[in-house]
Homo-oligomer: A and B are copies of this chain.
Amino acid sequence: MTNFLSLADVTSIDDLIQSGLAAKANPFADQQLGKNKTIGLIFFNSSLRTRLSTQKAAQNLGMNVMMMNVGQDSWGLEMEEGVLMNGDKAEHVREAAAVMGRYCDIIGIRAFAELKDRDKDYREQVMHQFATYAKVPIVNLESATRHPLQSLADCITIEEAKLVTRPKVVLTWLPHFKPLPQAVANSFCEWMNARVQSGNVDFVVTHPKGYELAPEFVGDAPVIYDQSEAFAGADFIYGKNWSSYTQYGQVLTQDPSWAVTMDDLNLTNNGKFMHCLPVRRNLKVSDAVLDSPQSLVIEQAANREWSAQAVLKEILTNLG
């Protein structure tokens, strides 16, 4: 692995899961690996779990960490090529990425979708520009269309919590009043579809009509528009809101019946509830679900540390 931008950079999900679980069992075993190595964590957007878990994972590996909030600690960055820079952005990503690449051995970047221009968001401009200009490995800390560190943590969590060899996993849309990116849902589909291929899970997607995800992400996963039907027999319910992909960035419905309650969870095979957090309680999921023993959300967030550590360990190993 050089970069970790998407599943395409991963040789073996199973190896990463096992590496993550090994780190969880013995966090400081590889502390020499990161000695005198520096990761820069660059945030264009807010972060709690990603900020803390990636920093922690890097420190477990003996790395130094430098954090920067773009536009707050530093200047705003221009991403477009060939423009006359007479606006509010004082620096171009060509320089910023190249310079950071000279100070850092690895760079993590968080840059959300703007939800204005679908083609632009789906081109993943920021990740690709950093990968091009920084000339050091880039780790996706959630990009416009993907959140692979989350998806790997999700895989680790399912692996730990599954009670059957091939559990049924359901991704369900949840209601929200604000337009949110598709990144977590896209990425979860991408990774689950790979887990279907390797025989590890069955995977179903459910959402209201109009919330179809991009075909390249949803792939061959069955899409069921009736949430109750989808939940039947499920071992894992993975909740997430996203705005429309087809009517890009729009909130088409806030139908509260799509929020997950204990009644919904009771339709499953004593299924576990997962969510990447942050989650708005009682808007997307009821208190009762989140506070029940069936909720995995805290363990899932805790596994972000081990997902990051598995990825950083592999990148550090390849740095030589």
Contacts and interface: CB of A to CB of B under 8 A. Distances in A.
Interface of A: 27-28, 31, 36, 38, 40, 43, 46-49, 51-53, 55-56, 59-60, 64, 66, 68-69, 72-75, 78, 82-86, 90-92, 94-96, 98-100, 102-104, 177, 277-283, 287, 290-291, 297-298, 301-302, 305
23 contacts: A36-B60, A46-B73, A46-B74, A48-B74, A52-B68, A55-B66, A56-B64, A59-B64, A69-B73, A83-B282, A84-B281, A85-B281, A85-B282, A86-B283, A91-B278, A92-B281, A94-B290, A94-B291, A95-B297, A99-B277, A99-B298, A102-B301, A103-B302
A38 B56 contact: yes
Contacts of A85: 280-283
B74 A51 contact: yes
Contacts of A283: 84-86
Copies in the complex: 3
**A-side interface mostly:** mixed
Given A51-B74, A278-B75, A281-B85, A298 B102 contact: yes
A159 B28 CA distance: 41
Contacts of A282: 82-85
Q: For the complex of A and B, list the 6 residue pairs with the smallest distance between their C-beta atoms, beginning with the closest.
A: A91-B278, A85-B280, A102-B302, A48-B74, A99-B301, A84-B282
